[in-house]
Amino acid sequence: MSSQYGRKLKLSIFGQSHSPAIGVNIDGLPAGIKLDIEKLKAFLKRRSPGQNDFSTARVEDDVPEVLSGLVDGITCGAPLAIIIRNTDTKSSDYREQRDIPRPSHADYSAFIKFGGHQDVAGGGHFSGRLTAPLCVAGGICLQVLNELGITISARITQIGKIQGTDEKMKREILIAKEQGDSVGGIIECEATGLPAGLGDPMFDGIENRISGIVFGIPGVKGIEFGSGFEGAARKGSENNDSFYMDGETVKTQTNHCGGILGGITNGMPVLFRVAFKPTPSIEKEQKTVNLSSKENTVLQVTGRHDPCIVPRAVPCVEAAAAIALYDAYLDR
Ligand SMILES: Cc1cc2nc3c(=O)[nH]c(=O)nc-3n(C[C@H](O)[C@H](O)[C@H](O)COP(=O)(O)O)c2cc1C
């Protein structure tokens, strides 16, 4: 199982939704970085469940516990290991899942891959809960990037088919919830202040690196950079970004390339959008199979679920971008 990422910054995420703890081991962080744990907790809070009507009723405090790599709040060069204890687990909700896979969740593919030994409770290692340690690592990278003058921020641009105001998007989620259904959406993320020259051609470009980690967020089904799919319908004359001098700095008039040319940053903001599918677990009846009896059956998923994972995924996208960009920065 590969739950590792990074070239210079090597992170390894471990745990399952209902294991005693989940966590991350980060190797390659430079020594001498002062971490603000309160700021990290505030970042994690944005992802935590149980805060509003849109998210699962599971309540987790998500307190990061540093096991190693930090002395007096400063990184010491040893691997930084941080865990978050799972406190609000209810495994009985999921017993049926070993035999009856939820449509569009990882239950069936994990069953085949791990021969039925996978931890099904709460989605096991495939749970959205594993984005908590991703946010721990990303929150730390964000702190370091901020010190370098680099900022990363993400926002929701679409929920279901709604692109309008926050209120309309919230209503769309609540309607889906009332119907025992779910909705997906789109998150846009922008990183500013990046130097030109980060990344590599072909297989280690900034697009590759960001995509690789963003697809580690469960529920992600698409990513586009700059003008993305819309750019495919434009003429070169409409889509090309003209260069100009801003004092001594080369800039572009538009940013249809999303700040990346040939896999390498050009100094303009890195811009990408991520498509999330609707939450697979829904209360509506769905057709599935019983893997033991080899019969068709129907399933109504009970238990605790997000009717829309998009609001909680916003810091996850920021975290993923921060890890990819800080790794590229260390690799420059
Ligand atoms: C923050 C977050 C919370 C999630 N919560 C749920 C959930 O409550 N129920 C569910 O079925 N899927 C949830 N998911 C999505 C599933 O974990 C994901 O769809 C599943 O693991 C299959 O992976 P895939 O969609 O990437 O193929 C969540 C994802 C994230 C990022």
Least-confidence region, from 44-53, 105-114, 295-304: 44-53
Helix H or strand E segment including 111 = helix 107-113
Q: Looking at residue 2, what is its pLDDT?
A: 81
Least confident of 24-38, 147-161, 219-233, 303-317: 303-317
- Please tell me if the CB atom of residue 279 comes closer than 6 angstroms to any atom of ligand 1: yes
DSSP assignment of 242-305, as one string?
-EEEETTEEEES--TTTTEETTEE-SSPEEEEEEEPPPS--SS-EEEEETTTTEEEEE---S--
Six-digit token pair at 223?
């990513």
Quote the ligand 1 centre to 308 CA distance (angstroms): 9
Q: Report which of 296, 289, 260 is spatially closest to residue 103, judged by C-alpha positions.
A: 289
pLDDT band at residue 54 using 50, 70 and 90 as cut-offs: low
| Rounded-to-integer distance, Cα 44 and Cα 57, Å | 17
Higher pLDDT, 149 or 303: 149
Separation of CA 235 and ligand 1 centre (Å):
38
Using left for φ > 0, alpha for ψ between -120 and 50, and beta otherwise, residue 183 falls in beta
Residue 194 has what pLDDT? 98
pTM: 0.96
What pLDDT does 61 receive? 80
22: nearest Cα among 64, 83, 87? 83
Q: What would the mean pLDDT of 283-294 be, rounded to a whole number?
A: 96
CA 2 to mean position of chain CA atoms: 16
Best probe residue, ligand 1, of 13, 89, 126, 309 (max atoms within 8 Å of C-beta): 309
Mean pLDDT lowest among 6-10, 88-92, 215-219, 298-302: 88-92
Give the amino acid at 108: Y
Rounded-to-integer distance, Cα 299 and Cα 7, Å: 42
pLDDT digits (tens, 9 = 90+) for 92-119: 655 667 899 999 999 999 999 999 999 9
Average pLDDT over residues 274-286: 97
In terms of Cβ atoms closer than 10 Å to its own Cβ (0-12, 13-18, 19+), residue 27 is middle
Distance 31 CA to ligand 1 centre (A): 35
What spacing in Å lies between the alpha carbon of 123 and ligand 1's midpoint? 8
What CA–CA distance (Å, rounded) separates 317 from 128? Answer: 13
Pocket test for ligand 1, best of 183, 277, 279, 304 (most atoms within 8 A of CB): 279
Q: Which atom of ligand 1 is nearest to the CA of 219?
A: 25
* 167 Cα–ligand 1 center, Å: 24
The minimum-distance atom of ligand 1 relative to the CA of 220 is 26
Half-sphere exposure of 212 (CA within 13 A, CB side): 19
In this predicted structure, what is the pLDDT of residue 98?
86
Q: Which residues contact 233 (CB under 8 A, 6 or more apart)?
A: none
Per-residue pLDDT at 11: 97
Asked whether 145 lines ligand 1 (CB < 6 A), one says no
Residue 289: pLDDT band (50, 70, 90) is: very high
pLDDT for residue 165: 87
Three-state SS across 121-134? HHHHHHCHHHHHHH
Residue 20 above 90 pLDDT? yes
Confidence of residue 257 (pLDDT cuts 50, 70, 90): very high
Pocket test for ligand 1, best of 1, 52, 105 (most atoms within 8 A of CB): 105
pLDDT of residue 90: 65
Nearest to 29 by CA among 141, 131, 133: 141
What is the 3 state secondary structure string of 26-72? EECCCCCCECCHHHHHHHHHCCCCCCCCCCCCCCCCCCEEEEECEEC
Lowest average pLDDT, out of 77-86, 127-136, 214-223, 294-303, goes to 294-303
CA of 228 from ligand 1 middle (Å) equals 25
Instruction: Give residue 283 CA to ligand 1 midpoint distance, Å.
Output: 15
> Which atom of ligand 1 lies nearest, measured to the CA of 301?
11
Among 45-49, 115-119, 148-152, 228-232, the minimum mean pLDDT is found in 45-49
**Overall residue count recorded for the chain in this entry:** 332
pLDDT in tens, 165-208: 899 999 999 999 999 999 999 999 999 999 999 999 999 999 99
Residue 45 has pLDDT above 80, yes or no: yes
Residue 146, burial from CB neighbour count under 10 angstroms (0-12, 13-18, 19+): middle
Instruction: Specify the pLDDT at position 247.
Output: 98
Mean pLDDT of the chain: 94
Q: What is the pLDDT of residue 57?
A: 64
Helix, strand, or coil (residue 213)? helix
| Ligand 1 atom with minimal separation from the 280 CA | 11
Record the tokens describing residue 6, joined without a space: 């990074």
The candidate with the shortest Cα–Cα distance to 181, out of 313, 260, 282, is 282
Which has the closest alpha carbon to 218: 158, 132, 140, 156? 132
91 pLDDT above the threshold of 70: no
Q: Which tokens sit at 209? A: 């690196």
